[in-house]
A and B are shown apart, each in its own frame.
Chain A
Amino acid sequence: MCNLEKTWVKLGLTDEEYQKILDILKREPNITELGMYSVMWSEHCSYKNSKPLLKYLPTKGERVLQGPGENAGILDIGDGLGVVMKIESHNHPSAIEPYQGAATGVGGIIRDIFTMGARPIALLDSLRFGIPNDKKTKYLIENIVAGIAGYGNCMGIPTVGGETYFDDSYKENPLVNAMCVGIVENDKIKRGIAKGIGNPVMVVGSTTGRDGIGGASFASEELSEKSEEKRPSVQVGDPFMEKLLLEACLELFGKDAVVAIQDMGAAGLTSSSCEMASRGGVGMELDLDKVPLREEGMTPFEIMLSESQERMLVVVEKGREKEVEKVFEKWGLNAAIIGKVTDDGMLRLIKENSIVAEVPAKSLTDDAPQYLREAEKPSWQDEINKLNIDEILQNKDLNELFVQVVSSLNIASKEWIYSQYDYMVRTDTIAGPGIDAAVIRIKGTNKAIALTTDCNSRYCYLDPYKGSQIAVAEAARNLAVIGAKPIGITDCLNFGNPEKKEIYWQFKNSIFGIADACETLGIPVISGNVSFYNESEGKAIYPTPVIGMAGLIEDVSKIVTSGFKDEQDAIILIGENKKDLGGSEYLNVCYGIQKGNPPDIDLELEKQLQNLLFELIEEKLVKSSHDISEGGFAAALAESAIIGGKGVEIYLNSDLRSDIELFSETQGRVIISADKNNIDKIMEISKRYNLKSKEIGHVSGNAIKININGENVINLPVKFLDESWRGRIRWEMETN
């Protein structure tokens, strides 16, 4: 091959990695082979910087039918059914081409779910943006949301939840993490394990074009001014095509002619072929002249690296090709036999009757380099942990601060965003966006699945270990308050450049935090995604390990939502307040301070709290329940009042400063409401779990009235708070 010098560097491989390829092949690779190694050994496909640490995450549990390593993880929920789930990032494409970047992020994660044989039933999106005070940020928000809506709505899969946070660390590098959940009959699970020598290999769905070439490599470097030039690396989505592909695949799976199937996402034909061959311990021979192309004159390099969307690679039982073709013909889609499964473990590519590439399939997957990088505590870490609350004096009237916190971008209603998503299609959404967790019923059973995503990245920035523990604990609490038992996690770990010691330190501590929290709470990680290089002009985002969590509800009629229900119901606070303003939304929004130590987290206590909630909800003693998180007691109380459209009268006794009492973010706390006749029972059960619960007031009137030590400190009409809370983001986006 001519002029290969430096080519590997251009493709993102190091000299050492190139040497490793030479050692494997015992010759120089040609450009197609080099291209295949470059994408498969990119961080995006190989997880080379994260694998050595990811093994610390607990992945086993009695419900786990499929852990990490496949297209998605699966949890057994009884009745012969499984919940299939995965979350994935599409950060870099969304930064460069927000509509298509976000849309194809959704498209990709949906394919991961139905590839497993599941019907997708819900989407969630965890988003991070800069503060929307400039045109560029608004443009990104507007188009990322529109892209998610455009794809998900057309697919007929409800977008039921997620989270959105605003912080300037994401200004140039927004995060778009899309999570999809499906339901599968456990005896119909499909996997990407190629088997059966001589079985035909088919590419189905859309045609292959030049879009998205090198996308996986692009996602594995930092963003810079030059990133704009990589716009052609962003794929273009066609949700209509994917809807047809979804229906065709599910129809096909009913026929049992499919041996293995894999989505053609990042690194397209290369990853799908070598990963399926590698998992099955077989080889594959593909004739590239048979791949349906949308453009003429495509080279083997381009065909193998294309990331054209809405395609699948399928291994079919020999002799049943016609059945497959018939199903795809009905849906107006391509289904072309492009090769076969072989016994020699080689991935062999043929074009115009000659071999254009031939490498061991396993070398692309299992032999990818792994780096345990050097980790070092950032020099600035101690400085950002310094905070003396006594030096920060309350700067305004408490009522004013209350409104400021409740209507802060991070706490305000995300209605402007989720009202653009069809969250009701499929008529299974029992609780939609806007509360602690979404609840999706499973028709034909009494069961439902509760879903949430969670991460307070400011906490993770101040203390990656503790912050990550809190992300897990809070996700679990979000499910527990509704009445769902947490059963599994899919995680999306968004960090800066892992080659930097400080970033690797954040990453390492975050993994340890998630692992410890999962162990204590008994929740396995069944799938996930790592996204590094989230930096722009050398500045990293806040470490953002997003926890997507599923919970199981045995009897959907018993779920409890967060809004207050009836006049005179008692309001009970479970858990104790401490002086936890480090990293709080209060300091952030009212004083511009992002410092201190995040609240302590007692995982054993969290476990007790969850068990208490399950018992209270099971016994039907609770009318509403809501977790206390960002914005503290004040924000949680306001949300329950606004959502329920009811006022409250609260009487607190406290040794703390009033602003601390209201806005402290101490973990392990929940606000519930209940019929007055049930108070004694609730107190008795709380005691059994060693949790401090106290009656603090009741539902009453149309205003939020809070008295501390006998003095009225807050008196605000619910309607006014509702308008401030609900209208904030619309106002930011639609005025100026």
Chain B
Amino acid sequence: MKFAIVVFPGSNCDADCYYAVKDGLNQEVEYVWHQENDLSRFDIIMIPGGFSYGDYLRAGAIARVSPIMMAVSKEAEAGKPIIGICNGFQILTEAGLLPGTLRKNKGLKFICDTVSLTVENANTFFSTRLKKGQEIRLPIAHGEGNYYIDQDQLEDLKKNNQIVLKYKDDINGSVEKIAAVINKKGNILGIMPHPERAYDKMLGNTDGLYILGSIVDNFLKGGV
């Protein structure tokens, strides 16, 4: 199986994703520049964290009109698995591929830390290595991770079991401490914490492999 890592000007967790896939999952992986317009040769699409376009306007707001996003939308519609991490999550909400939006952290400061999360839905393409209610620890590093969604849509999310992870504590002001959501169809995950930074014992944390490993397991089992 082959992973694509979409690189925008200003992406900076592209290399982190690359090594997590290559060394943590032992899978093939390739960078794809934002001006390309075809992702059909890949099995999984990763949109990495960083500051695409310097967060000008709003985080993710400019990246979403990049040529590659046409290809991302096309593959999304076709049901290909897509994971957006941190800024990647912001880009996916800006592109309308995931519900909700990400605002500045409640304390208005960037936060870098490793935090506890609880598993809300262990029955997705991205979370089958987990158990509902399980607690895991993942790194976070964001200034705009405060997930917002209005009441109606929140009810929808809950009804459809679209909340995948929640922060154990109120880290950044997110509605219901939401840290990761999935689309209705179940092929697109947006996650604020960084699983790709927790793939190696040397880093003191391998909890990221719960998420990344689930992708491999489920792909090999035959798709979304």
Contact = CB atoms under 8 A, between A and B. Distances in A.
Interface of B: 9-10, 12-13, 15-16, 19-20, 50-51, 53-56, 109-113, 139, 141, 143, 194, 196-197, 199-200, 202-204
A399 B6 CA distance: 56
Indicate the member of A238, A239, A419, A427 with the most B CB atoms within 10 Å. A427
6 contacts: A239-B51, A240-B51, A244-B10, A424-B139, A427-B203, A429-B203
Contacts of A426: 15-16
Nearest to B139: A424
A425 B20 CA distance: 12
Interface in A110-163: 146, 149, 153-156
A441 interface: yes
A156 B197 CA distance: 13
A99 to B, nearest CB: 13
Given A156-B12, A243-B12, A244-B10, A427 B109 contact: no
Nearest to A418: B112
- For the residues of B in contact with A, the DSSP-based class is mixed
A424 B9 contact: no
Nearest to B203: A427
Contact of B202 (A153, A422, A430): A430
B61 to A, nearest CB: 13
- 8 tightest A-B contacts by CB? A156-B12, A240-B54, A422-B141, A154-B51, A427-B16, A422-B112, A420-B110, A149-B110
A155 to B, nearest CB: 7
A421 B112 contact: yes
Interface string A549-581: 000000011000000000000000000000000
B202 A556 contact: yes
B109 A420 contact: yes
A643 B54 CA distance: 35
A332 interface: yes
A443 B15 CA distance: 12
B110 A422 contact: yes
A427 B112 contact: no
Interface in A136-193: 146, 149, 153-156
Given A240-B56, A422-B112, A427 B20 contact: yes
A343 B120 CA distance: 71
Interface in A434-460: 441, 443
B113 A419 contact: yes
A339 to B, nearest CB: 29
Nearest to A242: B54
Nearest to A149: B110
A331 interface: yes
Interface in A476-502: none
A430 B113 contact: no
Interface in A197-251: 238-241, 243-244
Interface string A297-336: 0000000000000000000000000000000000110000
Nearest to B205: A424
Interface of A: 146, 149, 153-156, 238-241, 243-244, 331-332, 418-427, 429-430, 441, 443, 556-557
Contacts of B15: 426-427
B112 A419 contact: yes
Given A419-B111, A422-B112, A154 B19 contact: no
A427 B197 contact: yes
B54 A425 contact: no
Given A155-B12, A243-B12, A419-B113, A427 B54 contact: no
Nearest to B19: A427
A180 to B, nearest CB: 15
Contacts of A443: 19
B87 to A, nearest CB: 11
Contact of B110 (A153, A156, A238): A153
A726 to B, nearest CB: 12
A427 B19 CA distance: 9
A241 B9 CA distance: 9
Given A156-B13, A425-B16, A240 B53 contact: yes
A424 B197 contact: yes
A441 B23 CA distance: 15
Nearest to A556: B202
Contacts of A424: 112, 139, 141, 194, 197
A430 B201 CA distance: 10
A724 B163 CA distance: 36
Given A153-B141, A240-B54, A441-B202, A332 B112 contact: no
Given A240-B55, A427-B20, 20 more contacts: A146-B109, A153-B110, A154-B51, A154-B54, A156-B13, A239-B51, A240-B9, A240-B51, A243-B51, A243-B54, A244-B9, A332-B9, A419-B111, A421-B110, A424-B141, A424-B197, A425-B13, A425-B197, A429-B203, A557-B202
Contacts of A243: 9-10, 12, 51, 54
A424 to B, nearest CB: 5
B53 A425 contact: no
Contacts of B203: 427, 429-430
A154 B141 contact: no
Contacts of B9: 240, 243-244, 331-332
A425 B10 CA distance: 13
Contacts of B56: 240
A156 B19 contact: no
A342 B202 CA distance: 52
Contacts of A240: 9-10, 51, 53-56
Nearest to A734: B107
A335 to B, nearest CB: 16
Nearest to B11: A156
Contacts of B50: 156
A485 B148 CA distance: 49
Given A426-B16, A427-B20, A420 B10 contact: no
B9 to A, nearest CB: 6
Contacts of B111: 419-420
A598 B139 CA distance: 41
Contacts of A418: 112
Contacts of B196: 427
Contact of B112 (A146, A423, A556): A423
A149 B109 CA distance: 9
A278 B218 CA distance: 62
B115 to A, nearest CB: 11
B112 A420 contact: yes
Contacts of B204: 430
A425 B141 contact: yes
Nearest to B111: A419
Contacts of B13: 156, 425
A243 to B, nearest CB: 6
B155 to A, nearest CB: 34
A93 to B, nearest CB: 21
Nearest to A155: B12
Indicate the member of B53, B112, B139 with the most A CB atoms within 10 Å. B112
Indicate the member of A154, A331, A419, A424 with the most B CB atoms within 10 Å. A424
B184 to A, nearest CB: 32
A462 to B, nearest CB: 36
A421 B110 CA distance: 7
A735 to B, nearest CB: 14
B107 to A, nearest CB: 9
A429 B113 CA distance: 13
Contacts of B141: 153, 422, 424-425
Contacts of A239: 51, 54
Contacts of B16: 425-427
Nearest to A557: B202
Nearest to A416: B109
A426 B139 CA distance: 13
Nearest to A244: B9
Nearest to A415: B113
Nearest to A157: B12
A238 B9 CA distance: 13
Contacts of B113: 419
Contacts of A332: 9
